[in-house]
């Protein structure tokens, strides 16, 4: 499933960055927006399946979607843009504004002095993972079982053109599932991914 406000986009493969490109010592308390990708543990296809280019969420996928939407409800300065829950990952865009005063604000990617920072990207992702993991494990009766990989991918969106391309990628992600590197059935993607996954979850 994808979320968009009445807009139609074409697929653009070159905009998707698979590796984290967080900037060291970067000040995330300024204007900006974020492209976030979170992958399931060992890229297990846990949240549903893609049929005819449409993502069909199962019960676990619906929990992920609900909690993603909840982020935009409980945090008044976090605006949700397009997102998609895929079988084993979620893509989405966060817009962080200055509490409705019209100024975008980047959420810090590091928690200051070892303490959580409200509305920081790490805090938002940590709470999302925690809420979904608890609910899914309660249903499966698998307490303590990991649902998500420890890390996540984040890209700072720098301009309107880049924002438009990333929206296109997210919206068209289900249509490209057959060749997605996260798709276990994509042998080519699995072979390409294998060297970088050695020794990792």
Tens-digit pLDDT profile for residues 129-180 = 999 999 999 999 999 999 999 999 999 898 889 999 999 999 999 999 999 9
pLDDT > 70? residue 183: yes
Given strand 78-85, what is the order of strands in its sheet?
Answer: 78-85, 89-96, 33-39, 153-157
CB atoms inside a 10 Å sphere around CB 73: 9
Contact present, 132 and 62 (Cβ < 8 Å): no
pLDDT value, residue 159: 87
- What is the SS3 assignment for 92? strand
Query: Please, what is the Cα angle at 169 between 106 and 1, to 5 degrees?
Result: 95
Q: Is the whole-model pTM more than 0.85?
A: no
Length of the chain: 201
CB atoms inside a 10 Å sphere around CB 30: 11
Query: Can you give the three-state secondary structure of 47-77, one letter per residue?
Result: CEEEECCEEEECHHHHHHHHHHHHHHHHCCC
* Confidence label for 7 from pLDDT (cuts 50, 70 and 90): very low
Residue 85 CB burial class (10 angstroms; 0-12, 13-18, ≥19): buried
- What is the SS3 assignment for 17? coil
**Six-digit token pair at 136?**
């899914």
Q: 99 to each of 76, 77, 175, how far by Cα in Å?
A: 6, 5, 36
Name the helix (H) or strand (E) containing 82: strand 78-85
**pLDDT higher for 87 or 9?**
87
pLDDT > 80? residue 108: no
* Best CA proximity match to 121, nearest among 108, 130, 133, 132: 108
Rg over alpha carbons for the chain, rounded to the nearest Å, is 17
Q: What is the mean pLDDT of residues 192-196?
A: 35
* Confidence label for 104 from pLDDT (cuts 50, 70 and 90): very low
Report the alpha-carbon distance of residue 199 to residue 116 in Å, rounded: 29
Which DSSP state fits 119? T
**Six-digit token pair at 150?**
């420890």
**Six-digit token pair at 139?**
């249903």
């Amino acid at each position: 499933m994808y979320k968009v406000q009445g807009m139609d986009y074409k697929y653009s493969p070159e905009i998707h960055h698979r590796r984290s490109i967080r900037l060291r010592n970067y000040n995330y308390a300024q204007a900006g927006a974020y492209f976030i990708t979170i992958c399931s543990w060992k890229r297990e296809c846990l949240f549903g399946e893609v049929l005819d280019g449409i993502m069909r969420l199962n019960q676990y996928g619906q929990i992920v979607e609900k909690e993603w939407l909840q982020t935009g409800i409980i945090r008044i300065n976090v605006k949700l843009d397009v997102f998609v829950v895929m079988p084993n990952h979620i893509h989405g865009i966060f817009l962080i504004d200055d509490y409705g005063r019209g100024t975008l604000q980047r959420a810090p990617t590091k928690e200051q002095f070892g303490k959580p920072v409200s509305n920081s990207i790490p805090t938002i992702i940590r709470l999302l993972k925690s809420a979904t993991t608890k609910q899914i494990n309660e249903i499966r009766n698998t307490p303590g079982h990991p649902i998500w990989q420890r890390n996540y991918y984040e890209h700072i969106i720098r301009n309107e053109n880049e924002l438009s391309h990333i929206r296109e990628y997210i919206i068209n992600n289900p249509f490209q599932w057959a060749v997605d590197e996260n798709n276990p059935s994509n042998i080519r993607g699995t072979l390409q991914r294998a060297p970088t996954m050695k020794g990792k979850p």
